[in-house]
A and B are shown apart, each in its own frame.
Chain A
Amino acid sequence: MYDFAYHKPATVADAVKLLADPDAKAISGGHTLIPALKHRLNKPSAVVDLSGIAEMKGIKRVGNAIVIGALTRHAEVATSAEVKAAIPALAYLASHIGDVQVRNRGTLGGSVSNNDPAADYPAAVLGLGATIHTSKRKIAADDFFQGMFTTALEQDEILTAIEFPIPEKAGYAKMKNPASRYVMAGVFVAKTGGAVRVAVNGAGPCVFRQADMEKALAANWSADAVAGVKQSADGLNGDIHGSAEYRAHLVGVMAKRAIAAAG
């Protein structure tokens, strides 16, 4: 990697100041940034390590929502009694991210801020209609994910926590890329306050909602209801592991499995 300055602020306010430098990069678990640095694909002036900010940690229930601090590691979400009781699908999703080492290191905030199309968490955030808390404001999930590796976050804005409404039902299923084990196609379904949301990750350049499936499930919450919904391959990803058509097909399969998991 190239040389960079390293900072470890103790508060969100200090971190925001350090990130005013447009060439500075925030680091949390480091599972995306460190490999990029090692491959010299990124040359930040400074790396701002958020891991010392206590106010960004922890899992708590607030009213009818679970609020998870951005620095919370995947393993903590996967094993949290609070999350398992309120949103078991979220705990399940976290327990299947990467491998043990990844789950003990990677964080919720890091994954969602990065918005890798093949990451797991964005599907839960969009599928549950979560609210993203930042150092500046609150952003609805529908407004947050803007494209491949692109979010509504500004350069000096830090994702601090995510507020997940507790659904009546939710489920997640994914097909892993055989090589990387990232998501090739995943579907998160949720019924929250009577409203149905279906979020698709892995298959496209950015996590997206599947409106036809939402409509079908709102009328009839069952795997059969989505069987007739055809996911278009237009705009989906294709690579050496599978065509856009294959991914479109997988969206249907994973939707059925997610609904079955949701019960």
Chain B
Amino acid sequence: MNVVAPFEGIGASVRRKEDFRFLQGRGAYTDDFNRQGQLYAWIVRSPHAHARIKGVDTSAASRMPGVVAVFTGADMAKDNVGGLPCGWQIHNKDGSPMAEPPHPVLALDKVRHVGDPVAVAIAATRQQARDAAEAVGVDYEVLPAAVSMDAALKAGAPQVHDGAPGNLCYDWHIGDKAVVDAAFASAAKVVKLDLVNNRLIPNAMEPRAALGEFDPTTGDYTLHTTSQNPHVIRLLMGANVLHIPESKLRVVAPDVGGGFGSKIYHYAEEAIVTWSAGKLARPVKWTADRTESFMSDAHGRDHVSHTELALDADGKFLGLRVSTLANMGAYLSTFAPCVPTYLYATLLAGVYTTPVIYCEVKAVFTNTVPVDAYRGAGRPEATFLLERLMDVAAQETGIDRVELRRRNFIPTDAFPYQTPVALQYDSGNYHATLDQALKASDWAGFEARRAEAAKRGKLRGIGISTYLEACGIAPSAVVGSLGARAGLYEVGTIRVHPTGSVTVLTGAHSHGQGHETTFCQLVADKLGVPVAQVDIVHGDTAKVPFGMGTYGSRSLAVGGSAMMKAMDKIIAKGKRIAAHLMEADVDDIEFERGIFRVAGTDKTKALVDISVAAYVPHNYPIEELEPGLEETAFYDPKNFTYPGGCHIAEVEICPETGKVSMVNFTAVDDVGRVINPMIVEGQVQGGIAQGIGQALLETCVYDADGQLLSGSMMDYTMPRADDLAPVSVATHTTLCTHNPLGVKGCGEVGAIGSPPAVINAVVDALRDYGVRTLDMPATPSKIWGIINGGRRMAAE
């Protein structure tokens, strides 16, 4: 009987290998690791948004049961522990570098946000550590706080850092202002809009955790941490903070329960447990509780923008002018400065032919938790701005909102397309994704659905977003010229074992993305090795040669490309071995899915024949070829990748309560070649859930004193299943032209494309109430206020 193995290569919806352990509760997360003699750390955090530290009294805490040590910022300073570094330097309009104030691991002279770490208590149990932390006496002189960006920029505002006068981190711009101003001067119509992109708190399912270890016999440190990029943590913490050479520092990011960006950054707690482990020569573990996560994980978004669009009489865009304030929080988190600049303003062309664009961005320090990249990072902010502006422009020009978009789309035959804001798009077909989404959502039949809803007393609306994003980050030389202090290539090693199974070492890190399946499919497709015989190793600096980690939808486009390059090397070497074994010329050897063939003959060797020969080189070209079959490749991308597409949201509003219900969501995304359609669908759905969360539910609220009002799940509205709608996800593929897989990335498109579609739908539902500006989230009370206000207006 012939058994045909199911196809597992590119394009197959292979079930996720990793889910067998996750669904059985057998994942191994950082907090699951426990060591003999392990101690527990509890961080003393500032209850104040802004205060001078007049003294820290650790004497009572140190004498408490089980307490081994209580450390303060002064103790770390004595050891020459460095501050937490920032990985990106932005320059001001005048060419001077941004303000980059110090970010001590434990606060020294001042605390600058609620949750700022001040001291650490280390004890035999977690409870004892917490008891001791409560007994640490910190003498605070409370200072006035600069909480909102508005307040922080006012003359005479409290200064967050002495080294950042006026609380300004940088005042940056892109584009030629004079040229853009000229375009506005000649415009038939100018449309203006003010927008807020609401501040979000990431809330990965697994809170952050860190376990530091030190081996006094070797001097080796090991850090287990909830990270999206262990090599980056090793580099930043080793080189900048603790001064430990890479060879003496191993960083492991085991199973990680979601990151969404918030686990990219090097956090204080990682340095605290590693340094303390060295001081005490005992393992030290810290695990955040949810309350700590709210006040110590980097937040996301938080932009305030004024924007203007110039159009000619036919509705063609002539120019775009944007002025944005971006909140940095109290300190610069690892990648914070690049988010509102090179991940934001460079996206302002979107899918449109806007010929000239000017954008200026002021980054502001405030007495709040640091803000950094969160799923989409800069691109959701740009997309929300553009796609809200599209609808307002349509309203004010009287041109249909779909037609206005279509009229300004970059034509399908215009690629590669150079935008006025630095990026060059390689491929896309915006008409095709739009057409497909209009059809799938039955856009044409909407008015009947609106009328039917009206009979039920509901206000129904439909909204659209035609978006584009840049991911697959990033070409090292390009980002280097823009201020990045790191390269953004990726590394892949293909280790073909003697009997033909394969281990892949990748510098990408999976924390929900399904790499352990998708990456295996690349090997199955190219080398013909069944998925079951391929294993992915990631997240351990002692195993993987190097890597920059997972964020910016880069794992497949960059990490997968590195694997493809490494497999090319395997095949090239395999051909030479095959040529030797089959006594043929190497140029005559063909390879396809695991079979080496002498061209035009039936002489073949399987990959396993080659691997056996490579590791048991009895009959082997040993004079010209090393034994073994393992290859490593570094892949540095030539360009960003540019996924895009069309999202359509349909909502119903209860006019009595103001509650917005999602009733339908359609996404048609061009993510390039699809390796595993099921995983892509899951990624897009997850992103859309977060986008709907931002649009309707989530927002971080501080009071005027800098206390976090949305400091728990009781007040911060995470999306639940019943907040979402049936989501229809489809893809329309144009291939990326510059990476070997033709892939673009799918991790962030959902969160980028969906918020404006939802808000445009809400505004459409409220069309009788004259809504022009609607800030996220569209909560019931906010919508009721509009409806109630509208009724009052009508009555007057």
B711 to chain A, nearest CB (A): 11
A136-179, CB under 8 A of B: which get 1 and which 0?
A: 00000000000000000000000000000000000000010011
- Judge whether A241 and B714 touch: CB under 8 Å: no
CA separation between A52 and B21, bound complex, in Å? Answer: 38
Which residue of the partner chain, among B291, B658, B715, B785, contacts A179 with CB atoms under 8 Å?
B715
Which residue of the partner chain, among B134, B701, B713, B718, contacts A240 with CB atoms under 8 Å?
B701
- Judge whether B709 and A179 touch: CB under 8 Å: no
CA separation between A93 and B85, bound complex, in Å? Answer: 54
Q: Which residues of A contact B656 (CB under 8 A)?
A: 253
CA separation between A253 and B457, bound complex, in Å? Answer: 14
Q: Contacts A178-B697, A178-B779, A240-B709 given: A249-B788 contact, CB under 8 Å?
A: yes
- Judge whether B780 and A178 touch: CB under 8 Å: yes
Kindly state whether residue A22 has any CB partner on chain B within 8 Å: no
| Nearest residue, chain A, Cβ from B710 | A240
Q: Which residues of A contact B697 (CB under 8 A)?
A: 178-179
- Judge whether A180 and B714 touch: CB under 8 Å: yes
Which residue of the partner chain, among A40, A180, A246, contacts B781 with CB atoms under 8 Å?
A246
- Judge whether B717 and A179 touch: CB under 8 Å: yes
A240-253, CB under 8 A of B: which get 1 and which 0?
A: 11110010011001
Q: Which residues of B contact A241 (CB under 8 A)?
A: 715, 779, 781
- Judge whether A250 and B657 touch: CB under 8 Å: yes
Q: Which residues of A contact B701 (CB under 8 A)?
A: 240
Q: Contacts A39-B291, A240-B701 given: A179-B780 contact, CB under 8 Å?
A: no
B771-782, CB under 8 A of A: which get 1 and which 0?
A: 000000001110
Q: Which residues of A contact B769 (CB under 8 A)?
A: none
Kindly state whether residue B29 has any CB partner on chain A within 8 Å: no
- From 714 to 734 in chain B, residues with beta carbon under 8 angstroms from any chain A beta carbon are 714-718
Kindly state whether residue B784 has any CB partner on chain A within 8 Å: yes
B134 to chain A, nearest CB (A): 8
CA separation between A147 and B13, bound complex, in Å? Answer: 58
- Judge whether A180 and B713 touch: CB under 8 Å: yes
- Judge whether B715 and A175 touch: CB under 8 Å: no
CA separation between A261 and B544, bound complex, in Å? Answer: 63
Residue among B130, B714, B781 with the most chain A CB within 10 A?
A: B781
Which residue of the partner chain, among A39, A178, A242, contacts B717 with CB atoms under 8 Å?
A178
Q: Which residues of B contact A246 (CB under 8 A)?
A: 658, 780-781, 784-785
CA separation between A243 and B715, bound complex, in Å? Answer: 14
- Judge whether B714 and A242 touch: CB under 8 Å: no
Chain B contact surface mostly: loop
Interface residue total, chain B, C-beta cutoff 8 A: 23
B92-129, CB under 8 A of A: which get 1 and which 0?
A: 00000000000000000000000000000000000000
- Judge whether B716 and A179 touch: CB under 8 Å: yes
| Nearest residue, chain A, Cβ from B698 | A179
Q: Which residues of A contact B130 (CB under 8 A)?
A: 40
B119-159, CB under 8 A of A: which get 1 and which 0?
A: 00000000000100010000000000000000000000000
A252 to chain B, nearest CB (A): 9
A163 to chain B, nearest CB (A): 32
- Judge whether A243 and B717 touch: CB under 8 Å: no
B715 to chain A, nearest CB (A): 5
CA separation between A250 and B659, bound complex, in Å? Answer: 11
CA separation between A67 and B658, bound complex, in Å? Answer: 38
- From 291 to 328 in chain B, residues with beta carbon under 8 angstroms from any chain A beta carbon are 291
CA separation between A39 and B294, bound complex, in Å? Answer: 14
A254 to chain B, nearest CB (A): 9
Residue among A178, A240, A253 with the most chain B CB within 10 A?
A: A178
Q: Which residues of A contact B781 (CB under 8 A)?
A: 241-243, 246
- Judge whether A242 and B780 touch: CB under 8 Å: yes
Residue among A175, A179, A243 with the most chain B CB within 10 A?
A: A179
B56 to chain A, nearest CB (A): 21
CA separation between A130 and B697, bound complex, in Å? Answer: 37
Q: Which residues of B contact A175 (CB under 8 A)?
A: 657, 659, 780
- Judge whether A253 and B715 touch: CB under 8 Å: no
CA separation between A39 and B291, bound complex, in Å? Answer: 9
B458 to chain A, nearest CB (A): 14
CA separation between A172 and B709, bound complex, in Å? Answer: 30
A98 to chain B, nearest CB (A): 12
Q: Which residues of A contact B709 (CB under 8 A)?
A: 240
Q: Which residues of A contact B659 (CB under 8 A)?
A: 175
B398 to chain A, nearest CB (A): 35
CA separation between A179 and B788, bound complex, in Å? Answer: 23
Which residue of the partner chain, among A182, A239, A249, contacts B784 with CB atoms under 8 Å?
A249
CA separation between A112 and B716, bound complex, in Å? Answer: 26
B682-700, CB under 8 A of A: which get 1 and which 0?
A: 0000000000000001000
- Judge whether A180 and B657 touch: CB under 8 Å: no
Q: Which residues of B contact A249 (CB under 8 A)?
A: 784, 788
Residue among A40, A175, A239, A240 with the most chain B CB within 10 A?
A: A240
CA separation between A201 and B472, bound complex, in Å? Answer: 51
Q: Which residues of B contact A178 (CB under 8 A)?
A: 697, 717, 779-780
CA separation between A239 and B659, bound complex, in Å? Answer: 17
| Nearest residue, chain A, Cβ from B709 | A240
B523 to chain A, nearest CB (A): 42
Q: Which residues of A contact B657 (CB under 8 A)?
A: 175, 250, 253
CA separation between A9 and B648, bound complex, in Å? Answer: 59
| Nearest residue, chain A, Cβ from B131 | A2
Q: Which residues of A contact B788 (CB under 8 A)?
A: 249
Q: Contacts A175-B780, A240-B709 given: A180-B785 contact, CB under 8 Å?
A: no
CA separation between A239 and B701, bound complex, in Å? Answer: 11
- From 613 to 666 in chain B, residues with beta carbon under 8 angstroms from any chain A beta carbon are 656-659
Q: Which residues of B contact A243 (CB under 8 A)?
A: 781
- Judge whether B713 and A179 touch: CB under 8 Å: yes
CA separation between A246 and B717, bound complex, in Å? Answer: 18
Q: Which residues of B contact A250 (CB under 8 A)?
A: 657
B249 to chain A, nearest CB (A): 35
CA separation between A180 and B785, bound complex, in Å? Answer: 21
B568 to chain A, nearest CB (A): 51
Q: Which residues of A contact B658 (CB under 8 A)?
A: 246
| Nearest residue, chain A, Cβ from B656 | A253
- Judge whether A179 and B714 touch: CB under 8 Å: yes
| Nearest residue, chain A, Cβ from B717 | A179
B376 to chain A, nearest CB (A): 22
| Nearest residue, chain B, Cβ from A254 | B657
CA separation between A240 and B712, bound complex, in Å? Answer: 13
CA separation between A253 and B788, bound complex, in Å? Answer: 13
Q: Which residues of B contact A182 (CB under 8 A)?
A: 714
| Nearest residue, chain A, Cβ from B654 | A253
CA separation between A101 and B709, bound complex, in Å? Answer: 26
| Nearest residue, chain A, Cβ from B714 | A180
Q: Contacts A178-B697, A178-B779, A253-B657 given: A240-B784 contact, CB under 8 Å?
A: no
CA separation between A239 and B711, bound complex, in Å? Answer: 13
Q: Which residues of A contact B291 (CB under 8 A)?
A: 39
CA separation between A66 and B718, bound complex, in Å? Answer: 38
CA separation between A240 and B784, bound complex, in Å? Answer: 14
CA separation between A240 and B788, bound complex, in Å? Answer: 18
- From 196 to 231 in chain B, residues with beta carbon under 8 angstroms from any chain A beta carbon are none
CA separation between A235 and B718, bound complex, in Å? Answer: 29
| Nearest residue, chain B, Cβ from A257 | B656
CA separation between A31 and B299, bound complex, in Å? Answer: 29
CA separation between A96 and B163, bound complex, in Å? Answer: 54
Q: Which residues of B contact A40 (CB under 8 A)?
A: 130, 134
Q: Which residues of A contact B714 (CB under 8 A)?
A: 179-180, 182
A176 to chain B, nearest CB (A): 9
CA separation between A243 and B781, bound complex, in Å? Answer: 8
24 contacts between A and B (CB under 8 A): A39-B291, A40-B130, A175-B657, A175-B780, A178-B717, A178-B779, A178-B780, A179-B714, A179-B715, A179-B718, A180-B714, A182-B714, A239-B715, A240-B701, A240-B715, A241-B715, A241-B781, A242-B779, A242-B781, A243-B781, A249-B784, A249-B788, A250-B657, A253-B656
Q: Which 5 A-B pairs have the closest CB atoms?
A: A242-B781, A179-B717, A180-B714, A253-B656, A246-B781
Supplied contacts A175-B659, A242-B779, 6 more A-B pairs, CB within 8 Å: A40-B130, A178-B697, A178-B780, A240-B715, A242-B781, A249-B784
